[in-house]
Structure formats: C-alpha cells, structure tokens
Structure 1
C-alpha cells in the first residue's frame, strides 16, 4: 500500500478516537476552590492547573509518597488575601498549613477545629481580627500554633489550657487583653510560649508557668506584668531564653533564676527591679546575653557574672557602684558591653578587648577614671566607643588611631590631655567624633581628609590651636562642626564652601581671622552660625540673607565693617547678634526696633532713632520732645494697664458665674468606662491649660484628680477655623460637621494606633471632645523642631509602621471603610514611648460598598503638600488619597524636611525628592542627622514612600500592602526570628544607648 495512503488512514483513526479525559482528584478540587476564593495579585497560584489529575506536583503542595494524599500546604509570603479557607480542613491527611505573611482577613472561624490532622498551623503576620476561637484546643494533634502579628482581641480562651500535644504557642503582636492566664501552666508539652506585645490588663506573672518543665523559650515582653518574678521559674531547667522586658516588675531578681543551667539569654530590661544580683550566677554556664538595664538594681557587678562566657552584657541605667571586675576582660566572646548611667568607679580592666571581639562599648555617665586601655580595638572590630561624662585622663592611645572599624566616638566631658593621634582624625568610617570639654592640645590634623563619612565633629572647650586645615572642606557629609572655646587661628579655608550639608558652624571664642568665604551661599542647610568673639573682618556677605534655613546668627565681638546687609531681613531668625563690631550706616528697617537694640550695641558707626545706638548729635535739640513723649506714653500705659486688670477680674467673675449656671445643661456621652465626670473637665478649661490650637478648635491639657491626664478639644463656636498650614476646607462645613465626624468615627472604632476618644460633652452652644493625652505631641511639631534629634531612625521607622497600621485598619478592617482625608504629620500623635496614633477625624468620610465616597466634594479638603494630585481635578474621596498623604509623611521621616519649603521653590517635598534623587543621588535626600548605619533601611523606606506618592492612584499600594512592606524592612525582623527559634543571634539587640547616653 502506498505510504501516503497509510498516513491518511492513521490520521482518520486518530480523529475518530475520543479524547482522553483527565479528572482532577477530590483533594485537587478542594485546592482549586481555595485558589478561586482568595485574591492572588502576584499570581502565586497560577501553576495550580485543574487539568492535572493530582495536586501533588503543584507549588506549595506536598503529598505523602505512598498514599499520594496532601499532607502539607505552605503558602507563606505569597501576598494572598481573603478569609481563612475552612475547606482545607476537608483534606483528611493535612498536617502542615502555613499562610505566614499574607493578608488573610476577617475572623478565624470556629470550624478550624475540623482540621483534625493538623500538627502545624502558622497564620502569623496577617490581618485576622476578632476573638481567638476556643475550638482551637480541640485539634488533638496540634503541636505548633503561631498567630503572631494579627489583630486578635479579647482574652485567651479557657480552653487553651486543654491542648494535648502543643509545643509552640505564639500570640505576639496582637490586641489581646485580660490577663495572662494561669491555666497555660497545664500545657505540659509546651516548649515555647510567646505572648509579647499585647495590651493585657496589669497582672502578675502566674507562678503556674513554673510547671512547664519542658519550656525552652518564655517570651513575655511588654505584657503589662506587675509584681515580683515568681521563684517557680527556677524549675524551668530546659529554658534557654527568658524575656520579661518592658514590664513593671519589681522586687529583687529571684535566687531561683541562678538555677537555670540551660539558659542562654536573660532579658529583664525596662522594669523596676531592685536590689543586687542573686548569688550562684556562676551556675549559668550557658549564659551568653544578660540584659537587666533600665531598672533600679544596686550594689556591685559580681565577679561571678563577669566570669561567664558572656557575649552581651547590658546593665545601663541602674544604680550600680564599685569597679568593673577584671574578669570581664577574659570573656572571649564579648562583643557588647553597655553600662552607661550608673555610679561605677575605678579604672577599666587593662586587657579589655584583647581577648574578645568587642564591637560596642558604652560606659558613659559614670565615674570611671584612669587612662584608656590600648587593647580596646585589639581584634579590629570596635565600632562604638562611648565614654562621655566620666573622669578619664591621659592621652588617647595610639592604637585607636589605627582602629579602622570605628564609626561612633564620644570621649567628651572627661579629663583627657595631649595631642590626638593623627590617624584618629582620619578614621574612614567615623560619622560622629566628639572630644568636647577635655584638655586636648595640638592641631586638627590634615589627615582629617580621610574621614569621608564624618557628619558630626565636636571639639569644643579644649586647647586646640593652629589653623583649620583646608582638608576639612573635603568632608562632603559634614553637618555639624563645633569647635568653640579653643585657640584656633588663621582664616576659614576657602574649601569650606564645598560643605553643602553644613547645618551647624560654631567657632565662637577662638582667634580665627580674615573674611567669611565668598561662597557662603552654598551652605543652603545652615541652621546655626556662631563666630562670636574672634577676629573676623571685612563685610558681612550679602549672600548670607539667602540662607533660608538659618535660625541663629551670632557674629558679635569681631571686626566686621560696612553696612548690615538688607538681605538679613529675609531670614526667620530666633537669635541675631552683631554687637561690638565696626558696622556703620543705617539699620535695615525691620531691625530698627527696640527689641533688636541689644543685637547692635557696640557699633559706633550705626545710627537709628534708638537710644544707645546713635552718637547723640541731635540729642540736646530733641531732649524736650523726648521727655514730653515719654510722659504721655507712661500715663497712657498706666491707664491701659488699670483698664485691663479691671476688665480681667470682671470677665473672670462673669465666666465663673456662667460656668456654675451652665453646668446643669451639659450632656455627657461616653465611649469607654470613665473615672471622671464632665464637671471635673469643665473646671479645668482655662487659658493656662491650652496646649494647642488647630483647624477646628482649641486643645486643653486637663489633669484630673486621680492623676490621669486627658486632652480636651473645644470646637470653635462659629465653625472651622482657617489654619495657616491647611488648605481651605469644604465650603459651609461648620463645627457640628467636625464634631459629628469625630464622634461617628472614634466612638465606634478601637485600635492601638488610633487615638482614643474617651467621651464628648455638649450643650446648645458648645461641644467638647475628650481624648487620651499624648505627652510627646504631634509628629510634625517634634520632627521639625529643635527636638527632632530625639527621633532616631528606629523610632521614626516604628512611627511610620504604627501610623500605617492605623490607616490600614480604617481602610480594610472597618465596615464600611473610612477615609481620613487629612493625613499629615501634625495629625499623628506620639505617646510617652513615641508610639504613634492617628488623630483628628474632623474631615473623615465613610466609603460605600464600591469603595467610593458618598459624593464628590465641593472643594479640596486636606493640607498643603499632602494633597494627592488627582484630588485637585476629580474631588473624589477614596483611600488612595490617604495613601498619597501617608507617603508624604514617610518622606518627611526619611528626609527631615517639611512638605512645603521655600527652598523647594515651586516644588513640594515629593517633587524635590524625585528631582534630587535624579540629579544628586540618595545621600542628598536622607536626613543627615540620622545614623548612617541605617542607610540601607532608610533607602528601603524611602522607596515605599515614593510608591505611595505615585502620580497615578492605581500604582499606589493598598495600606494593607504598605504595612507588609514596612514589616519586611524592619530592623527587628532578625530579633524576632532569633526569639522565635529560641536561639541567640548577634542581631538580637535593640539599641537604647542613644536614649541613655546623651547620644
């Protein structure tokens, strides 16, 4: 048969044969249903093909090799969103289930208990809400339960004491209240108990936890624990990690803790523990990390503690006395030693650092004396050397001039002498070098050219002499150069014109001469210029008036001549002193006032109609007129003062009478259980207690009789006041609208990052809102004031995360969702621990089911610099507007700059950041005051801020996603991992030295 006929017959046979039907098994059908029930923006489940006969080859799915039944589903880090898929419990042999770090929302249903085969359930880092299901304890084989980083609320169910096989229980970072229950001591199989960072009610640490003899990790940080540490914890012989930090525990460290022979790390910091150290600590042969800082411990540091193989010892901010035992120098693993703010005396051990990889040494604010050991950087890893406020003497060892790893050096306020080693000036990684208030001599060496990373140089109050080297102008990161009270001479190097990051230049009380550099206009970020009491001459440069950031200018007691530049009137100066120079001519009109007189005395050539400045040429001629005018002004002033006093007492009596009459007319509506009445609030509302005035009313600080403090907002009587910082609010919006919005929003929602509204008080013509009091005020006021230095990078990061979590709650967990509409740094309040709360809901709007506002707004609402670009032409309210505003706040935190600044010209902060990144790079964007060691983290957060401020709303991530991104770049992720695994990690360290040693 011809070949082509055979091919034709074969083709006809194939066409007539029915297709092979592949049927997905039942377990695959369940997983396909899971796929369709979840939001999968990253297509993580796209490879789950329903044409397969089994799901065993699908990503994230593992089957038993013999039965081919699904035993594991691991969907960690896949950005999935939606409710918990209970249908997974129909997989009969499922033992492992993880949705770690996703966006699973809603509540965890009670029928999760039908997953009867589960050994491992990980739902950490999601958005689950509601109460913990009591049915979880019905899972007979469950060994691992991790619900960390959700929004679970309420108490821990009683049934949790009935787990039969549970080894790991982690409920960290939720909203659980109630108390830590004693019945957890019944879970005899437990190896890890993690309950940290929950707002539990104040309660004692249950002694019953001592029954958990298999426990290896006990992590109860920030759980509102009070009272003494129970002795029963000494029975936990397998414990490797004990963390009771950030509580209110008191009393002594119990002796029984010295019996924890397996413990690797003990963290008791930030409590109120007192007394000395328990005897028998030599038994802790496995101890590597011991942190009992920020307590009230007294007595000496025991030698037996220092003989342990410690890697990290933190005992700062206690009441310790005596010397540091020599045995600490023999610890071969010691990389961290922080003892600042105690009463320690004596000399440092001579060999400290010789046998150990010392990285961080902070012994500031003690009474140590003697010379510095030459062995401090023997291993070549020393990064931080902080010794301010002690009594050290002698020279800096030459070996420290070769310590290339140093990044932060503070030797100020001691008794050091001699010349600074030449290599010490040029250490390549040092960003902070402080030598203030010692007796150093010699010159600032030219080797300083090698200190490419130097940002802060403080050498004030020493005996340095000679000229400032030309090489100092090569330090392009230099922000603060403070060299006052020395014997520096010569002129300022012309190279200093290159210091574009310079913010502070303080050289007062020296012998520097010559003229100011002609290129002073390049110091665009200069905030403080103090050259008082030197020998400067020539004219004051006209360009100094273009330094828009300049806040303080002191050129007094020099030899400046010529006219005072008119451009100085453009500056917003808090301090101006040009006295005792050789200036001449007339004062600029703005300064020709009595209040500025002391700023210009001692300049014989200046003349203005103010007594003490003119030379008195026409004094005799005008004496009669002056006397007459004085008499008239004195009499008028007396009449005015008497009238004001009379009116004040009349008005006060009237207000008191009015308050007594009107008290009965007040209506109180409470949203929480109160310990005060409306009358107690009303009695405290006087002008002396005003702490702020916003766009909608005045804010008062009220101290109640029980010692509690609250903030009271009294709304403006006529409507919403125009704020110089805010754009116009919607036309016709009045006080009642603001009041209704605040009550409607804050009266119903509960979240740790939303300011708490205690109650409201109303009458026919007055409305009061009573909030929790935030001691640190608003982020905007703190960040952009002289106190901005309190906000180091870890604090700024935590503020950003707190605010993001609050907004995410409004957008995703409230039904219906809520849009704030006025997100800005001034509406983010900070409590005593710098934890952030979103506040001021006077413009908030509720979205409908489609995610859109009830209607388009008639005009723009919001604040200048924070308003999303599309808002100007759509006037449509949605969550993308909040996300843009939050992005601006993030840029404020990273750059330290205002959202609108004259330096930007017609740009706002967003455009300035984008332009500067393109033209100069990221180093010109980041806040120069922040520790450069966080540069990588700051850059990551900067990118998040830029995503949030994308011009197109569709490109902005949701607030839920923003929270996830911020969590992923957290510098504490390493510490959480170390804690979770129960192992010591060199990354597990929360740097508090900046708060404790005047950093």
Structure 2
C-alpha cells in the first residue's frame, strides 16, 4: 500500500506542479489586476478570463514561444478608460507596453522601468496628468523608446532621463511640460529621435548636440526657447529633420548648418531670426522642405536656392525680403508649395510659363506646383495669358499687389484650383465666362479691383463653390439666377457694385447660406422669403433704396390675390346636366387668402389654449402627489426606487455611474424652489447633498414629453457619463421615468463665468492671468469633447462654471442628442438664451450642426472674457453686437480700448491682442475659416507669454 501511494505521488505531483505553474499564474494575475482598473466599453478584453492558465491567447497579448511569458501588451485605440494599475509590475518579461490612443487618466506608474526587460513604452494619446516621475528613469537598463505624447502631463522633464543611455527615441510632445531641457540630454549617445514639441519648455537650447552622431530627428516646435540656434548643430551629420518653429529664437543661421547635407526638412518659422539667408543654403542638396516664414530675414532671396533640385516646399513668407523672386527657382521642378507672401518683393508676375524672362523673374515649368502664394508684396505688371498651364494648382493667391490688366481666359484651365484670390489689385475688364470651367473652385475672391460687366452665368458650373466675394468693383447687371444653383454656397459678398434688377427668389433655397451681402448696389423689388433671408441683417441689404421687405422696414406694393372659389356642385351626382350650367349653378362661396389665414390662426390659438389648460391640470395633479424617495445604486444595471411610497405605481430607474448614494433630504426636498440654483433652455438645476455629504447638481429636463425612448436615452447619457476631463463638469448619474428625467452632475461651487465677468465689482474682478487661464481651460475642455465626438451646441458664459481654483468647467454639453423629437424651429427656441453665441449658419430649417458651431460660440466667449461686455447689448436706439464692435476697433487700430476697463492697463498687450484676433477668427462668418479646437489650444499655448508667472494672480 505504501509503495502504491509513493508511486501515485511520483506520477501526479509533477502534473500538479505544472497545472499551477507560478509563471503562468503571475502573468495572468497581473493582467487581471490591471484589467480591474479599466473600463472597457467595447468589451475588447472579453477574452481576458482569470481562470485561464495562460494569457498568451488573450487580445493584445504576445508571449515568448519558449518561456511562455508575456513579452508584449498592445492595446492601442480600444477606447479604454480608467488608470494604469500596478498589476503590470508582475509582467517580469514584458518588453513592449503600448496602450496609446485610449482615454486613460491618472498618473504614470513610477515603477514601470523596474521591469528590466522593458524596451518600448507608448502611452500617447490619453488623458494622463501629473508630472513624469523622477524615479521612472533610475533603472532604465534596456529602454529604447518612450512616448507620452498628447496627454496632459505637467512639471519638468526629469534630469534622470539622461541616465538612460540605451534610449533611441523620446516623444513627450503635446503636453504642458515646462522648465529647461534636462541636463545631459545631449549625452544620450544613442539618441536618434527627440520630439518635445508643443509644451512650455523654456531657456536656451544648450550646446553639446554635436556629440549625437546618430541623431536624425529634432522637433522642439511650439515651446518658449530663447537665445540662438546651437552653433554646433552641424555636428549632427546624419540629421534628417529639424523643427525649431514657433519659439523665441533670435540671431542668424549658424555657419555650421551648412554641414547638414543629409537634412531633408528644416523648419524654423515663427521665431525672431534675422540676417540674410546665406548662399550656402543651396549646398543642402537633400532639402525637400525649407520653411523660414514668420521671422525677420531681409535682403535678396539667394539665387542658390535653385540648386535644391529635390525641393518640394519653400516657405519664406512674412519676412522682409526685397528684390525679385530669383529665376533659378524654376530649376526646382518638383516644387509643390511656393509661399513668399507678405514680403517686399517687386517685379512682375513671378511665373512666366514657357516664356523665361530673367528681367522679370522665375519662369519655365512649375507644372507640379499646387500652392502659389505671392500675396501682400509689391508685384506689378499683368497676369500671363497662359496662366492656365499651371494646371495642377490647388491654391493661387495673388492678392494685395498692384497687378493690372485683364483676367486671362485661360483662368478656366485651372480646373483643379480650389482657392483663387486675385483681390486688392488693379485688375479691370470683365470676369471671363471661362471661369465656369474651373469646376473645382470652392473659394473665389476678386474684391477691390476695377472689374466691370455682368457676373457670368457660367459660374453655375462651379458646383463646389462655397465662398464668392466680388465686392468693391464696378459690376453691373442683375444678380444671376445661376447663383441659386450653387447649393453649397455659404458666403456671398456682392456689396459696393452697380448691380440692378430683382433678386432671384430661388436664392432662398440655398440651405447652407450663412452670409449674403448685397449692400450699396441698385437692386430693387422684394427680398427673397425663407431660409437665410428671414434673418438677414439689415446692414447686408442697406444702400439699395428700391429694395422692399420686412428686413428694410419697407413693405412691398400689395398685390391682391385672386379669390379662392369653392363650388359645391363640382362633384354633385344629382341631375344629369353639367354642374357648370347656368341654370343649376349654386351660390359660390368666396374666401380670400387673408380670411383663410385668419381662420387658421384662430383655430391654432384655440387649440393652444386647450392644450395649455390640460397641461396645467396635469402639472397641478402631479405636484399634489408626494415624490417617492430616490435611492441611487452603483453600476449601470436597473435599480428601482423603494416601493414604500404609496400611491406611486411606476418607480423610475436611478443609476449612479460609481458608488452608492442616497439623497439626505429625500425627493420631497429635492426639486423645490429653495434648492433651485439655475435655469436654462433645457431645464432647471437644483442643488442637493448625498448621504456621504457630497453635494451634487440635479438638472430636471424641461421637455420630458419629447425625450427619446428609454433605451436610446440611457445609451446617450452613459456615453456622456464616460467623459472625464479637468475642464468638464462630470455627469455622475441619471434618473429615468416616462414623465421626468433627471441628470446628476458634480457640484462646482464657485459660480458661473457670467457672474464672475458681469456681476463682479472692480475689486473682485478676474485678473488678466485668471482670464487667460479661463480661456485656455475652456478651449481644452471643448477640444476634449470634440475628440469624443460630442458637440456642445449650447455654449455660453452661464454654462461655464469656475471651480475653487478658478479653473473653468464646461457644463450642459451634449444635451441636444437626448431630444431628437424636437423639430429644428423648436430647438432654436430652446436655446434662444444663447443669442449672440449662436453661429450664423444656425438658422431655422437650415440648421447644420458641426463642431464649428461650438468654435463660433467659443470665439464670442473669448471676446466676452477679454472685454467684460455681453455678446449683445441693447441700448435706447441701437443694438451693439460685440463681435462687430471688436472687429471694427481692430481694423481702426484701437483694439486696446475694448479691453475690460477694470483691468486698469495691467494686461500684457502682446498676449491680449493675439487672443482678441484668435477670438475673431473663431467667430468667422464662414465655418471653414474657423480653426479646430485642438488648433485653438495649440495657438493659445503659443500666445501665453514667458513672463506669465510675474503677474500676480
């Protein structure tokens, strides 16, 4: 018996040991613990089952085929949220950790590099905050690539980074890191790529970079670096890409740069670099992209630029270059982009296809050219008759020069051109009908010339046209019916011409129209009715004495309609004769159209009165019943109210997205007048306290009868509940019942931005630094909403709440998606309190909801914060629209007069004026001209001055 027992033990113990292999269990346990800290809305990690012996078949997991240990964890773009848990520290053989482009929050796990095998860390594209831990780089014995790009990290780059001698790639771009470059960063001899762009780094770019013989990419764009370009930069002999744009660098180009013969891209725009561009620039034969724009370079453009035969992009705009564009540039036969705008160049038109003329400038091919911008120079002469041979041009901008003569007929051969701007020149003659052959045109600008004749009807062939500006010319004839066939038109300016005749009534069918200016012409007759023309501003039709309609307060001559005759014999079956015979004709009933309208109006009023009476009775009846106590349970499953409340048949569904909670005062005290803290277009907001003494804000939706189905409503609310950002008011739960819907938000205590701007006295008003932080915070919050595919739609200063630190929190977002039953006219009235913030394209029956509507509202908010004035102010005999007031002040050079007087000249003009300009750009009448919110954030971070900390908060 003993022998048999020992035999069985000898057989089964090894098997048992294998079944509980600690290697497998350690990796499984670590990943399961890591998963427990995540929210997985798409169930992408459903294959991660804790009962499995090995994780090697799990989603995103790869193992070593010999040891079966986890070596790679790749969970990119799975919409995961939550935090990075310590369970990862159990993966002792992990080499690659990539969890990019998710919604992870929290801080970076300090002990990651204790995993001695880790070679790649990629946490980019998340919502991580806090500093980069100093201890993260204390044990990076094998780390080769690390990326924390596109998060919300703050603080300094740790000096310990320089101890990671194995590092080849570092990417900390698009965060909020500050301070100087870490000491010894150029001692990382294996470094091949460094990207620290779009942060707030400052100080000088220290020397020593020449020791990095393998460095291929340097991107320090969008920071606050000062001083000179490192003089030893040329020692990086294999450097392929250099981007130092948008900093505060000064001085001239260092001589050592002529050694960068392998470099294909040099971008130095947006600095204060000066001096002449040296002739040795032509020695960098590998260059494909050269951007020296927005600096202070002067002198002639060197002819040696023509030696750069591989050049595809040349941008020398916004400098002080003089002379002519050298003809040698025509040697760059692969050139795609040529931008020399806003300089002081002279001579004739810089491109003479097939007719080289060194006395004029460049010539020959340019057959591949896609973008040509020579605007805002001092060019003269005429346009070449064969300009159409530049057949690949997509954008041509010749504006603000002194070009004269006719527009050549070959302009019609530019059938790939989308943007054509010949404005502010001395062109004369007619607009050639051949323009209709430029079928790709989206934006045509010919204003401020001496053009005459009629607007060609052939323009109807430009079916992609969005913007048409022909103002300030000598055009005659009618506004052609052809314009009404351009269904994509959004912006039209025909003002200050000699147009005559009636406006085609079909223009009212242009559903995308957001701006239409025909002022100061000789037009007559009735304005079109419907669409955009129902709300066209009076200033857009002024200066046409013979125009009539409600907009110009001049009623048109009445035309009496024929009466409607109702013949009761028309369908009679009695008798055998015709119902129209004189002897059988009954008395006709004659009703005018006005009588029918009056009858219809009376009936509608009567129906409305009855409906309101019934609704009042129902409201009084519901208020007489006691509300059931509301108890919230965690999770997202169904939880009903306590059935202890008698007389209530249907108890609603109440859900908190995290934790268990109950209102201290119960439902009876929840929605009473004393608890009310605000009202808006979508409902009333109340304040109450949970059992854990945590205050919350409750929004009672005002149009419950129009809410979509419970299933769709809950899906939308849960989507909104997953949005977490430091500049967004978080949605923490909801309550559903067919007759009432509540949204539960975190309570932000310090009141709305509207109150801080308009109700504060001189002693308690926000400082400029606080205002700038509010603007930047709002932009970051909106950018995050747009990344989550959520449009706010109802942006205004009462929906921006400031927390105790003065940081803004965007609230009331995404509610329009809960109300699909609202028609668009009703929806317009729901947000009429946002008057002044609403984008011009938001017109009843033609609403086109895009993120650009939010950008417009943000632009108005920026102007409101800077000026301290309301978007629309009503005076005794006038209405002041803030956007127009500020724009006029900017044009007249007195924008500082618009700044809130309570700031008492304590603001930095170098910040305020760019912020005002940005606000006006965001509030552009044309949606396509408005930037994306992510671009707005980047611009604001660039505007912020280095001396910001010197101002007292």
TM surpasses 0.5: yes
**Does structure 1 residue 825 correspond to structure 2 residue 769?**
no
The answer for the alignment partner of 1:248 in structure 2 is 248
State which of 338, 355, 370 in structure 1 corresponds to 2:366: 355
Q: 1:136 to 1:923 in 2, by over 3 A?
A: same
The answer for the alignment partner of 2:28 in structure 1 is 32
Shift of 1:483: 2.5
Normalised TM-score (structure 2): 0.59
- Which runs of structure 2 are paired with 1:730-749 in the superposition (5 Å)? none
CA contact (8 A) 2:425 2:448 kept: yes
State which of 531, 546, 563 in structure 2 corresponds to 1:536: 546
Q: Which runs of 5+ in 1 are unaligned?
A: 1-16, 546-552, 564-719, 733-740, 742-749, 780-794, 810-820, 829-837, 846-861, 863-881, 892-898, 932-969, 977-987, 993-999
The answer for the alignment partner of 1:453 in structure 2 is 464
The answer for the alignment partner of 2:614 in structure 1 is none
State which of 11, 15, 19 in structure 2 corresponds to 1:23: 19
Shift of 1:770: 4.8
**Does structure 1 residue 840 correspond to structure 2 residue 840?**
no
**Does structure 1 residue 164 correspond to structure 2 residue 165?**
yes
Shift of 1:362: 2.0
CA contact (8 A) 2:519 2:539 kept: no
Matches of 1:805 and 1:989, distance apart in 2: 16
Matches of 1:300 and 1:136, distance apart in 2: 51
Shift of 1:116: 0.2
For residue 279 of structure 2, give the secondary structure of its aligned residue in structure 1.
coil
Shift of 1:272: 1.1
**Does structure 1 residue 482 correspond to structure 2 residue 493?**
yes
**Does structure 1 residue 310 correspond to structure 2 residue 311?**
yes
CA contact (8 A) 2:531 2:844 kept: no
**Does structure 1 residue 887 correspond to structure 2 residue 814?**
yes
Shift of 1:110: 3.2
CA contact (8 A) 2:424 2:449 kept: yes
CA contact (8 A) 2:680 2:833 kept: no
Matches of 1:139 and 1:215, distance apart in 2: 20
CA contact (8 A) 1:71 1:94 kept: yes
The answer for the alignment partner of 1:338 in structure 2 is 339
For residue 487 of structure 2, give the secondary structure of its aligned residue in structure 1.
coil
Matches of 1:496 and 1:284, distance apart in 2: 55
Q: What CA deviation, in whole Å up to 9, does each residue of 1:565-605 have, x standing for no partner? A: xxxxxxxxxxxxxxxxxxxxxxxxxxxxxxxxxxxxxxxxx
Shift of 1:554: 9.6
The answer for the alignment partner of 2:526 in structure 1 is 516
Shift of 1:522: 6.2
Q: 1:561 to 1:108 in 2, by over 3 A?
A: closer
Matches of 2:448 and 2:263, distance apart in 1: 43
Matches of 1:353 and 1:46, distance apart in 2: 63
Q: 1:251 to 1:426 in 2, by over 3 A?
A: same
Q: What CA deviation, in whole Å up to 9, does each residue of 1:902-927 have, x standing for no partner? A: 992457699x99xx999978858686
The answer for the alignment partner of 2:392 in structure 1 is 381
**Does structure 1 residue 153 correspond to structure 2 residue 150?**
no
Matches of 2:484 and 2:458, distance apart in 1: 12
Q: 1:249 to 1:367 in 2, by over 3 A?
A: same
Matches of 2:528 and 2:145, distance apart in 1: 69
Matches of 1:45 and 1:924, distance apart in 2: 35
Q: Which stretch has the larger CA shift, 95-104 or 768-777?
A: 768-777
Q: What CA deviation, in whole Å up to 9, does each residue of 1:633-671 have, x standing for no partner? A: xxxxxxxxxxxxxxxxxxxxxxxxxxxxxxxxxxxxxxx
**Does structure 1 residue 526 correspond to structure 2 residue 522?**
no
Q: 1:178 to 1:462 in 2, by over 3 A?
A: closer
The answer for the alignment partner of 1:107 in structure 2 is 107
The answer for the alignment partner of 2:232 in structure 1 is 232
For residue 257 of structure 2, give the secondary structure of its aligned residue in structure 1.
helix
State which of 820, 823, 828 in structure 2 corresponds to 1:904: 828
Q: What CA deviation, in whole Å up to 9, does each residue of 1:706-756 have, x standing for no partner? A: xxxxxxxxxxxxxx9999999988799xxxxxxxx9xxxxxxxx989999x
Q: 1:282 to 1:925 in 2, by over 3 A?
A: closer
- Which runs of structure 2 are paired with 1:649-798 in the superposition (5 Å)? 768=764, 770-773=766-769
Normalised TM-score (structure 1): 0.57
The alignment covers a number of residue pairs equal to: 648
**Does structure 1 residue 123 correspond to structure 2 residue 123?**
yes
CA contact (8 A) 1:490 1:512 kept: yes
Q: 1:157 to 1:499 in 2, by over 3 A?
A: closer
The answer for the alignment partner of 1:325 in structure 2 is 326
The answer for the alignment partner of 1:195 in structure 2 is 196
Q: 1:519 to 1:426 in 2, by over 3 A?
A: farther
Matches of 2:20 and 2:259, distance apart in 1: 58
Shift of 1:246: 1.3
Q: What CA deviation, in whole Å up to 9, does each residue of 1:881-910 have, x standing for no partner? A: x7762336999xxxxxxx999992457699
For residue 257 of structure 1, give the secondary structure of its aligned residue in structure 2.
helix
Q: What CA deviation, in whole Å up to 9, does each residue of 1:837-894 have, x standing for no partner? A: x76348999xxxxxxxxxxxxxxxx9xxxxxxxxxxxxxxxxxxx7762336999xxx
Matches of 2:93 and 2:320, distance apart in 1: 58
Q: What CA deviation, in whole Å up to 9, does each residue of 1:450-503 have, x standing for no partner? A: 222323322223232333322222223334433334343333334334345445
Matches of 2:805 and 2:188, distance apart in 1: 50
Shift of 1:159: 1.7
Q: 1:54 to 1:496 in 2, by over 3 A?
A: closer
CA contact (8 A) 1:310 1:333 kept: yes
Matches of 2:529 and 2:51, distance apart in 1: 73
Shift of 1:248: 0.8
Shift of 1:221: 1.3
The answer for the alignment partner of 1:212 in structure 2 is 212
Shift of 1:278: 2.6
Matches of 1:493 and 1:445, distance apart in 2: 15
Matches of 1:294 and 1:66, distance apart in 2: 57
Q: What CA deviation, in whole Å up to 9, does each residue of 1:426-464 have, x standing for no partner? A: 643323211112122332111122222323322223232
The answer for the alignment partner of 1:294 in structure 2 is 294
Q: Which stretch has the larger CA shift, 231-240 or 356-365?
A: 356-365
Matches of 2:762 and 2:276, distance apart in 1: 56
Q: 1:56 to 1:777 in 2, by over 3 A?
A: closer
Matches of 2:266 and 2:778, distance apart in 1: 28
Shift of 1:281: 0.9
For residue 282 of structure 1, give the secondary structure of its aligned residue in structure 2.
helix
Shift of 1:532: 5.2
**Does structure 1 residue 424 correspond to structure 2 residue 420?**
no
CA contact (8 A) 1:195 1:221 kept: yes
For residue 35 of structure 1, give the secondary structure of its aligned residue in structure 2.
helix
Shift of 1:188: 0.7
Q: 1:402 to 1:125 in 2, by over 3 A?
A: same
**Does structure 1 residue 470 correspond to structure 2 residue 466?**
no
CA contact (8 A) 1:76 1:99 kept: yes
